[in-house]
Amino acid sequence: MNPQDLDAYWMPFTANRQFKKAPRLFTKASGMHFWTDDGRQVLDGIAGLWCVNAGHARPKIVQAIQQQAAELDYAPPFQMAHPKAFELADKVSKLTPAGLDKIFFTNSGSESVDTALKMALAYHRVRGEGQRTRLIGRERGYHGVNFGGISVGGMVGNRKMFGMMLSGVDHIRHTHDAARNAFTIGQPEHGAEFAADLENLVALHDASTIAAVIVEPIAGSTGVLIPPKGYLNKLREICDKHGILLIFDEVITGFGRTGNAFAAQTFGVTPDMIVMAKGLTNGSAPMGAVAVKRSIHDTFMTGPEHLIEFFHGYTYSAHPLACAAGLGTLATYEEEGLLTRAQQLQGYFAEALHSLKGLPNVIDIRNTGLVGGIELQGLPGEPAKRAFNIFLDCYEKGVLIRTTGDTIALSPPLIIERQQIDQIIDTLRGAIQRAA
């Protein structure tokens, strides 16, 4: 493409000036691979953006979208609906932990987070505790980019330019403890006590003012932080003790990433709501959802039947094309056993990933299921540059990875084979050595 053809598009979460000097353009995708505009094949080590869990251009998903576009391109979601919205909600509710069987559709993870936060606030008001307006997030948490999400989120770069955000928000500490847990395979042994931060905030603000706590079971975008053993259980216990809702943001961990449909099942902790997106449609159409406990939903179902119970929604909620994509995606997952396939591969993946220990500037490796993080020692005075150089090197060698700060994140499609894991790790090994 000519440089002038790139000018109009202001790219998201991208170093725009660097990119437009040396564009990286994908023009085709299939299975485990992308193809560039100059015909090179690139192995997808990050499932697009944590979302293409079944691999690219899967036939059932493609056909579902094509057929839906011809049959019903749009249906209004307010006071009207279409059959596939109910069908998809039913299928999603059968994958979520028991009791979380009410599904509200959105168009992204960011919208799902804001929806869950509004549900929490409205729920307490409907049940007569409208003073519960405080929301608790976590340091280094990522909950999308809308104002609600960055308010409860804790990634500095996503917050610092945008003013005061929502009021009445506080944060507990993150769980990263490199001194005690570096190079742990799976869940760290140390750090469950960090959950006690929530008791400290209860003492500070009083439990009667707190509506909800939102955390990622695995903090993904901040660098793959695995929850310490017992940590999520303790958060659940504290929330139950004080009548606080617990929300899991599973936008990244949902739909097979940890070896189960949701990380809540992998870690054995059931929240009151689960926020999801990405893998819901295999990245093929924008869609998110919130799974809610039936008891929360039923609390809203009072008053005259003709009145709206929850004043919230989007023009594209349960969009017909997105619902069709979701149904094709869930069918693909089921037919190929993809929601549990990470259980078969996680041992091999962990061994391969941790084989990078001892390479220059590798200061920690973290993993569970088919997600991994490799933390690097940054270049003095140039944060994120070492990891970005490795990203560019791997891309040139035919492997797509993701970086966040000086951490490399891997989350390959769940269809990955062992030799492709080897290719990713071998390519990374060479790039890390060259960046020393």
At residue 3, the pLDDT reads: 74
| Per-chain mean pLDDT for the chain | 97
Q: Is the pTM of this model over 0.95?
A: yes
- Supply the pLDDT for residue 175: 97
Q: Answer yes or no: is pLDDT of 414 > 80.
A: yes
- Give CA–CA dist 191/197, Å, rounded: 11
Q: Residues 382-393: what's their mean pLDDT?
A: 97
Residue 112: the pLDDT is 98
Q: What integer pLDDT is reported at residue 24 of this predicted model? A: 97
> Looking at residues 368-393, what average pLDDT do you find?
97
Domain architecture of the chain: domains with CATH = 3-53+338-434 (3.90.1150.10), 63-336 (3.40.640.10)
| CA 158 – CA 149 distance, rounded (Å) | 10
Quote the tokens at residue 71: 């049959």
> Rounded distance, CA 420 to CA 405, Å?
25
Dump pLDDT digits (tens) for 1-60: 787 899 999 999 999 999 999 999 999 999 999 999 999 999 999 999 999 999 999 999
Q: Which pLDDT does position 203 carry in this prediction?
A: 98
53-83 tens-digit pLDDT: 999 999 999 999 999 999 999 999 999 999 9
Tell me: the pLDDT tens digits for 311-353? 999 999 999 999 999 999 999 999 999 999 999 999 999 999 9
Question: Hunting for tokens 């500070």 — which residue is that?
Answer: 204
Residue 129 predicted with pLDDT over 80: yes
Q: What angle do CA 372, 378, 379 make, to 5 degrees?
A: 150
pLDDT one-digit tens code per residue, 244-262: 999 999 999 999 999 999 9
